[in-house]
């Protein structure tokens, strides 16, 4: 009986510590950034200007598409080697009129492609354009972008230089949050994009396996497009990740170019963000299932099956479950073996604290231009309560001073019962934080929500909000919910900082 | 291009001025491909240094924890 109890206790301790694996994996991925100066693709680059077709899917983009085309025409790229194809996905506003006017302004460079049956999703719209562009010999490279993103003048040129190496099939750029005026949420997204793109994708460059070509900035060689079948997958909500995986599985390399910057407008409300991220997260569930035979199976053709890449992928994919598992195990340990629970809790949060300090400080330095505007959101990324737990775990003497010296001075006496409740709350917080962040999303549309929902996100954390979204995607996929393409609402208020 | 040091500078410091009429400056030549690659690699090398700074911060947290607030 004692042996069973001991085995159970250690199993629970392992479950608790598994909760720290995603943070350790993230720190490892970011450590790889430090060797990016040695392991990159620059040595194989050359000044190269292939004839590039830019494919822009557009549905009711009359407000932004004209300015987007004008900006594309001003890219530092040979005009004779640049053509823009706008696929008008049965727009009901003045999108066709604007595109036709631009086609007249830039003859031979801007083309209007009309789909009469629209609303089937981005992949269908892209395939309509792809069929036409691949039907002609002119195109040597294809850039897929969104109607409202802004390319810095040199970005395309910086991307095409990698295609001079025939082993490279696709190149992606650094998408930066550019909503103007921004708000607390867009600043969280700005910080998140440094971690998820500027940092993580550099690490993936080092590994030789890239998780995703950003939907708004994917440059393909013609050969690569033909190798993967000349069409974009329409069976999932993550068509860009599907394309990325298929490219690498076909033996073509995918490169992230961190110095090619593209500015994008991101959702300014939790509701808008939730819709966008739910689509991405469901897409990731579909990719995980579809490419089940890739994980942890090293291949001579690609690096997607490497152990490191698989760990990175599953740490993100399973993060909500791991958080719930760690919390549940801590609570069981609290009732079954209190001293063990206390030690496991401390180890878990000290590991979290050390990785948090490394990741947050490094990320701010990786892109200081964004980091100096978003450092507060970076610090509060895990939420104010998690931050308090981190400080309490790292510096227990500080905690004792607050409880036994400072609070009694203010007349507040914490009883042992209240202390036990606080401890239990801290044990449950990893799982609870997702629920509290979700409440922030639920109350946002109410009259008091505009005021309170940001407070919920700052308290519970932006990270837990994304985890709650991933958890919701599991539920949607398990229920077999209908796949609808919810277009992210855009206002056209995106700009490059001057 | 000639330069001269202006006498009796108000600050007491010698100020260097360009001794020719102001004309619009010609645009700087665009960086060459090699310059761009060099700049990119230099930035990437800088990230290695920044990673060391971040690791040093972690070391400071650990030191404070074990030396003062454990």
Query: What are the chain A neighbours of B43 within 8 Å (beta carbons)?
Result: 259
Q: B44 φ, ψ to 5°? A: -65, -35
pLDDT at B20 over 60: no
The arithmetic mean of pLDDT across residues A396-408, rounded, is 86
Token output for A154: 């040199």
Q: Which of A27, A37, A77, A379 to mutate to test the interface with B (most CBs of B within 10 A)?
A: A37
Taking a contact as any Cβ pair under 8 Å apart, which residues of chain A between 278 and 297 contact chain B?
none
Greater pLDDT, A399 or A276: A276
Q: In what order do the strands lie in the sheet with A218-221?
A: A110-115, A82-89, A52-58, A141-144, A218-221, A168-177, A253-264, A150-151
Token output for A464: 């837990």
Greater pLDDT, A206 or A396: A206
Give pLDDT, residue B12.
39
A67/B contact by beta carbon, under 8 A: no
B55/A contact by beta carbon, under 8 A: yes
**Cα distance between residue A49 and residue A84, in whole Å:** 15
The arithmetic mean of pLDDT across residues B29-45, rounded, is 89
Chain B residue closest in CA terms to A260: B40
B59/A contact by beta carbon, under 8 A: no
pLDDT at A284 over 90: yes
Q: pLDDT confidence of B23, banded at 50, 70, 90?
A: low
Query: What are the chain B neighbours of A78 within 8 Å (beta carbons)?
Result: none
The arithmetic mean of pLDDT across residues A395-405, rounded, is 86
B58/A contact by beta carbon, under 8 A: yes
pLDDT at A223 over 50: yes
A31/B contact by beta carbon, under 8 A: yes
Give pLDDT, residue B67.
84
pLDDT tens digits, A25-83: 999 999 999 999 999 999 999 999 999 999 999 999 898 899 999 999 999 999 999 99
Taking a contact as any Cβ pair under 8 Å apart, which residues of chain B between 13 and 32 contact chain A?
none
Residue among A30, A37, A161 minimizing CB distance to B41: A37
pLDDT above 70 covers a percentage of chain A that reads: 97
Q: pLDDT confidence of B11, banded at 50, 70, 90?
A: very low
A366/B contact by beta carbon, under 8 A: yes
The arithmetic mean of pLDDT across residues B24-49, rounded, is 85
The arithmetic mean of pLDDT across residues A180-188, rounded, is 92
Query: What are the chain A neighbours of B56 within 8 Å (beta carbons)?
Result: none
Residue among B36, B54, B68 minimizing CB distance to A362: B54
pLDDT at A108 over 90: yes
Query: What are the chain A neighbours of B44 within 8 Å (beta carbons)?
Result: 36-37, 40, 202
A361/B contact by beta carbon, under 8 A: yes
B51/A contact by beta carbon, under 8 A: yes
Treating both helix axes as pointing N-terminal to C-terminal, what angle do A270-290 and A462-478 enclose, rounded to 10 degrees? 50
Note the ipTM here.
0.89
Give pLDDT, residue A79.
94
Q: pLDDT confidence of A394, banded at 50, 70, 90?
A: confident
Q: Which of A24, A30, A36 to mutate to test the interface with B (most CBs of B within 10 A)?
A: A36
pLDDT tens digits, A432-463: 999 999 999 999 999 898 889 999 999 999 99
Give pLDDT, residue B55.
97
Chain A residue closest in CA terms to B44: A37
B36/A contact by beta carbon, under 8 A: yes
Query: What are the chain B neighbours of A398 within 8 Å (beta carbons)?
Result: 69
pLDDT tens digits, A459-493: 999 999 999 999 999 999 998 877 665 666 666 67
Residue among B37, B47, B52 minimizing CB distance to A45: B37
A467/B contact by beta carbon, under 8 A: no
Greater pLDDT, A304 or A401: A304
State chain A's mean pLDDT as an integer: 93
Across the interface, whether the CB atoms of A40 and B44 are under 8 A apart is answered: yes
Q: pLDDT confidence of B22, banded at 50, 70, 90?
A: low
pLDDT at B24 over 60: no
């Amino acid at each position: 009986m004692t042996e069973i109890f001991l085995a159970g206790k250690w199993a629970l301790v392992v479950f608790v510590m598994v909760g720290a694996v995603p943070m350790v994996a993230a720190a490892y991925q970011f450590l790889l950034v430090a060797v990016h100066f040695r392991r990159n693709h620059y040595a194989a680059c050359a000044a190269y200007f292939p004839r590039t077709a830019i494919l822009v899917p557009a549905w009711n983009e009359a407000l932004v598409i004209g300015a987007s085309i004008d900006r594309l025409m001003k890219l530092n790229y040979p005009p004779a080697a640049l053509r823009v194809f706008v696929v008008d996905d049965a727009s009901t506003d003045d999108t066709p009129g604007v595109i036709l006017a631009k086609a007249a302004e830039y003859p031979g460079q801007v083309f209007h492609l009309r789909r009469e049956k629209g609303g089937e999703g981005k992949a269908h719209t892209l395939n309509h354009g792809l069929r036409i562009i691949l039907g002609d010999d002119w195109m040597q490279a294809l850039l897929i972008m969104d109607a409202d993103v802004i390319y810095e003048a040199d970005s395309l040129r910086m991307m095409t230089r990698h295609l001079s190496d025939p082993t490279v099939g696709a190149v992606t750029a650094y998408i930066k949050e550019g909503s103007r005026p921004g708000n607390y949420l867009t600043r969280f997204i700005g910080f998140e994009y440094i971690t998820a793109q500027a940092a993580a994708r550099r690490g993936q460059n080092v590994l030789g396996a890239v998780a995703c070509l950003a939907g708004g900035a994917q440059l393909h060689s013609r050969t690569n497009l033909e190798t993967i079948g000349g069409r974009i997958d329409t069976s999932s909500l993550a068509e860009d990740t599907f394309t990325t995986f298929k490219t690498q599985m076909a033996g073509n390399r995918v490169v992230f170019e961190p110095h090619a910057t593209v500015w994008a407008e991101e959702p300014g409300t939790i509701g808008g963000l939730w819709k966008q991220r739910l689509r991405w997260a469901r897409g990731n569930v579909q990719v995980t299932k579809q490419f089940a035979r890739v994980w942890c199976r090293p291949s001579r053709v690609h690096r997607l099956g490497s152990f490191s890449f698989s760990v990175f992928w599953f740490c993100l994919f399973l993060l909500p479950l791991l958080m719930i598992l760690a919390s549940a195990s801590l609570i069981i340990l609290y009732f079954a073996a209190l001293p063990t629970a206390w030690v496991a809790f401390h180890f878990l949060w000290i590991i979290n604290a050390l990785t948090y300090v490394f990741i947050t400080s490094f990320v701010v330095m990786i892109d200081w231009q964004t980091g100096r505007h978003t450092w507060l959101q970076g610090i509060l990324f895990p939420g104010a309560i998690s931050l308090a737990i981190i400080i309490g775990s790292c510096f227990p003497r500080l905690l004792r001073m607050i409880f036994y010296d400072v609070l009694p001075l203010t007349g507040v006496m914490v009883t042992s019962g209240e202390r036990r409740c606080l401890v239990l709350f801290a044990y449950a917080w990893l799982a609870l934080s997702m629920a509290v962040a979700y409440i922030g999303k639920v109350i946002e549309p109410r009259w008091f929500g505009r005021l309170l929902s940001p407070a919920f996100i700052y308290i519970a954390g932006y990270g837990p909000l994304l985890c709650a979204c991933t958890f919701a995607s599991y539920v949607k996929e398990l229920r077999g919910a209908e796949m609808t393409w919810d277009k992210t609402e855009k206002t056209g208020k995106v700009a490059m900082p001057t | 291009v000639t330069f001269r040091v202006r006498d009796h500078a108000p600050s007491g410091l010698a100020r260097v001025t360009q001794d020719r009429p102001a004309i619009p400056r010609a645009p700087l030549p665009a960086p060459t491909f090699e310059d761009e690659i060099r700049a990119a690699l230099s930035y990437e090398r800088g990230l290695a240094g920044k990673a060391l700074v971040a690791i040093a911060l972690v070391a400071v947290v650990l030191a404070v924890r074990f030396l003062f607030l454990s």
